[in-house]
Amino acid sequence: MAYSDKVLDHYSNPRNVGSLDKNSAEVGTGLVGAPECGDVMKLQIKVNPATNIIEDAKFKTFGCGSAIASSSLATEWVKGKTVDEALTIRNTDIVKELSLPPVKIHCSVLAEDAIRAAIGDWKKKNGQHSQAQAAVQPAPVEQRA
């Protein structure tokens, strides 16, 4: 299967690979997996407590090129956004940006899950109950073509 140029770019030149101090109160960690393919993805965010802006993001993914590209793109996108803005990122946005084929849509779902899990972890650490995003309009998950 041919990967799109953008996937190849993120795959061979992934952004923000690495880790942040998971014990820091400013850091949220999300570890998620896709049982369909056995991929694991860790995504971490560092949030400025005064502004709620995500100042840094790191990831490490063990999986296929699309999973790596999806998480690489996710870290790029969340940086500079507030926590609530980051929660509006949809797997469909990732699919579109990377031109993922239907069989790789689960990779984009995994990346969205990772963002959500990292933010959830950060909120938990900071005593916020994750009700804020309930107001966000749900969008349908991209279906197979």
Give the residue numbers annotated as catalytic, written as ranges. Answer: 37, 107
d(CA 119, CA 116): 5
Q: Which one of 48, 62, 80, 96 is in contact with another protein (CB under 8 A)?
A: 62
Using the rule CB under 8 A, is 2 a contact of another protein? no
Q: Which stretch binds another protein (CB under 8 A): 47-55, 75-83, 92-100, 130-138?
A: 130-138
**Which residue's entry shows tokens 């942040």?**
20
d(CA 67, CA 52): 27
Residue with Cβ nearer another protein (50 or 129): 129
Q: Which of 93, 94, 105, 113 is nearest to 145 (CA)?
A: 105
d(CA 16, CA 125): 23
Instruction: Return residues touching another protein (CB under 8 A).
Output: 31-38, 40, 42, 60, 62, 91, 105-106, 109, 112-113, 116-117, 120, 130-134, 136, 138-141, 143
